[in-house]
Amino acid sequence: MSVRTHRPVILELHELTKRYGKFRGIESVSFNVMAGEVYGFLGPNGAGKSTTIRTLMNFQKPTSGHALIFGSDSVENATELKSRIGYLAGDYTMYENLTGMQYVTFIANLRGTDPREALPLAKRLQADLGKRIKTLSRGNKQKIGLIAALMHDPDLLILDEPTAGLDPLMQNVFYEIIKEHTAKGKTVFMSSHILSEVQLVCDRVAFMKEGKLAEIVDVRSLKNEGKKEVAIFNQPGNKLMQLPAFRELEVLSHTKEKTVFITNEPSKSLLRWLSLQPVADVTIQNVTLEDLFLKLYSSDSVEPAVRKARNV
């Protein structure tokens, strides 16, 4: 049994649905996020990520279903809940005639918190709060958005593309801040298009496809399983290569020229089998979230099926 079952549930979606007249938004989305977890939320543009987040924040009412945050209904108790949430929108705007310090002071006053709490974060993120926001680059505006979301030490962070515009150094600083945040038992729910980032910082990931929950992946299990993607290039003129008799084998393609499969066969037996094959070339790489992403969204399947990975 996963230790995650002993943690309180912070975010619960129950058949959450949002439609815009005849147009699809999200349909019957259900999953839970636990305390102390970094939960990734992935999908291509138009998959329903931002619609889900806006509905969770009560910026729009759900058509049906409901969400619970800290055990309270996200619509009925929206005002109280927002005091415990740090939010960064993917398409946020700020009062650009204000300086960074004036802006975070404004946000702090709305929350009833001390604006000086922004200063340590500004130092870590190398954010200049003295300049007017309209003079700042995209990355420096992003830093101020992150400071505004983080400075009141919220119990839940809901972040849409949090590292957009940040350079690699500041991305690493953000990852450190998130690690420290969850070490205190606080929770992060984040959307990102940077799959390597998600694999680095997230515990679990939900994939959205065409407005529906398509798959939930336990990132730690993905790392621990040690699955490998093996691509074998056959020697010219050879007949179709025989597939290995491994217990767990997922064949991605199998032609006379090239065979590609996924396996968690131990490396020794995999290499022993390869040494007996008439291969011209071979590549072996660990399976990543990017592999799962490309596989899921290149599929011709119209109706996504939910698959829960081990320990989910």
Domain 3-219: give its CATH code.
3.40.50.300
Q: Give the pLDDT band (50/70/90) at residue 224.
A: low
Confidence label for 229 from pLDDT (cuts 50, 70 and 90): confident
Residue 304 CB neighbour total at 10 angstroms: 19
**pLDDT value at 75 more than 80:** yes
Which of the listed CATH numbers 1.10.287, 3.40.50, 1.10.10, 3.30.70 matches domain 227-286? Answer: 3.30.70
Write down the pLDDT at residue 140.
95
User: From the CB of residue 58, how many other CB atoms can be counted at a distance below 10 Å?
Assistant: 19
pLDDT 10s digits, 173-189: 999 999 999 999 999 99
CA–CA distance from 312 to each of 38, 81, 228, 282, 306 (Å)?
Answer: 14, 26, 21, 33, 12
What pLDDT is stored for residue 122 in this prediction? Answer: 97
Compute how many other C-beta atoms are within 10 angstroms of the C-beta atom of residue 10: 24
Nearest residue to 228 (alpha-carbon basis) of 205, 214, 246, 210: 246
Average pLDDT over residues 113-131: 95
Which string of DSSP letters, residue by residue, matches 18-53?
A: EEETTEEEEEEEEEEEETT-EEEEE--TTSSHHHHH
Mean pLDDT across the stretch 153-159?
A: 96
Tell me, yes or no, if the two domains 3-219 and 227-286 fold the same way: no
pLDDT reading at 302 higher than 70: no
For the chain, give the longest Cα–Cα distance.
Answer: 75
Tokens representing 188 are: 């992060």
- Say whether pLDDT at 307 is over 50: no
Contact 209, 296 (CB under 8 A): yes
Check if the beta carbon of residue 39 is closer than 8 Å to that of residue 189.
Answer: yes
Considering only residues 3 and 192, tell me which one the structure prediction assigns the higher pLDDT.
Answer: 192
| Domain parsing of the chain, residue ranges | 3-219, 227-286
Residue 97 CA, chain-centre distance (Å), reads 33
What's the pTM?
0.80
Per residue in 1-37, pLDDT (tens digit) is 344 457 899 999 999 999 998 888 999 999 999 999 9
Would you say residue 274 has pLDDT above 60? Answer: yes
Burial 222-259 (b: 16+ CB within 10 A, else e): beeeebbbbbbebeeeeeebeebebeeeeeeeeeeeeb
Dist. CA 78–CA 81, nearest whole Å = 5
User: To the nearest whole percent, how much of the chain has pLDDT over 90?
Assistant: 64
The more confidently predicted of residues 86 and 235 is 86
In angstroms and rounded to an integer, the radius of gyration of the C-alpha atoms of the chain is 23
Distance between start and end Cα atoms, the chain: 10
Least trusted range by pLDDT, from 85-89, 236-240, 281-285, 289-293: 289-293
CB neighbour burial string for 195-207, b if at least 16 within 10 angstroms, e if fewer: bebbbebbbbbbb
